[in-house]
Structure 1
Amino acid sequence: MIRYSRRPRILAICLAMLAGFIDAIGFLKLGGLFVSFMSGNSTRLAVGIATQSHPVLLAASLIGAFVGGVIVGSLLSTLHARRRKATVLLTVSVLLALAAGCNRVALDGWAVHAMAVAMGCANTVFQRDGEVSVGVTYMTGTLVKVGQRIADALLGGNRLGWLPYLLLWLGLVLGGVAGAIGYHHIGMNGLWVGAAFAMLLSLLAPQTPSEVEKA
Structure 2
Amino acid sequence: MNRQWQLATGLTLTALAGYVDALGFVRLGGLYTSFMSGNITQLAVLTGDLQTAHLWLPLALIGSFLLGAILGSLVGIFIGDRWATPAVLTVETGLVAGALVIGLVAPEPGWASFALAMAMGAQNAVLSRVKGFRAGTTFVTGALFGFGQKIAEAITRKGPPFAWAGDGLVWLSLFVGALCGALAYQALNLYALIAPALVAAVLALITSLLVARERPAAKVAS
Using the size of structure 1 for normalisation, the TM-score is 0.89
Distance change in 2, residues 1:174/1:131 (3 Å): closer
Q: Which residue of 2 aligns with 1:171?
A: 173
Deviation at 1:130, TM superposition (A): 9.7
Q: Distance in 1 between matches of 2:211 and 2:172?
A: 26
- The one-letter code of the counterpart of 1:65 is S
Is the CA contact (8 Å cut-off) linking 2:18 and 2:138 kept in structure 1? yes
Matches within 5 A, 1:6-155: 6-53=4-51, 55-81=54-80, 82-106=82-106, 108=108, 109-128=110-129, 134=135, 136-155=137-156
Which 4+ residue blocks in structure 1 deviate beyond 6 angstroms? 129-132
Mapped contact 1:85–1:207 kept (Cα < 8 A): no
| Structure 2 runs not aligned, ≥5 long | 216-222
Q: Which residue of 2 aligns with 1:207?
A: 211
1:123 shift after superposition: 0.7
Q: Is the radius of gyration larger for structure 1 or structure 2?
A: 2
Rounded to whole Å, the distance in 2 between the matches of 1:132 and 1:164 is 10
Q: How many Å apart are 1:134 and its aligned residue?
A: 4.4
**What value does the CA root-mean-square deviation take over the aligned residues?**
2.2
Distance 1:191-1:203 versus aligned 2 partners, 3 A rule: same
Taking the aligned partners of 2:77 and 2:168, their CA distance within structure 1 comes to 30
Aligned-partner Cα distance in 2 for 1:46–1:98: 30
Alpha carbons 1:123, 1:134 under 8 Å: kept = no
Distance between the aligned counterparts of 2:24 and 2:120, measured in 1?
11
For these two proteins, the number of residue pairs brought into alignment is 207
> 1:42 deviation in Å?
0.5
Partner of 2:218: none
Percentage of pairs with the same residue: 37
Structure-1 separation of matches of 2:198 and 2:174 = 18
* TM-score, normalised via structure 2 length: 0.86
CA contact (8 A) 1:37 1:137 kept: yes
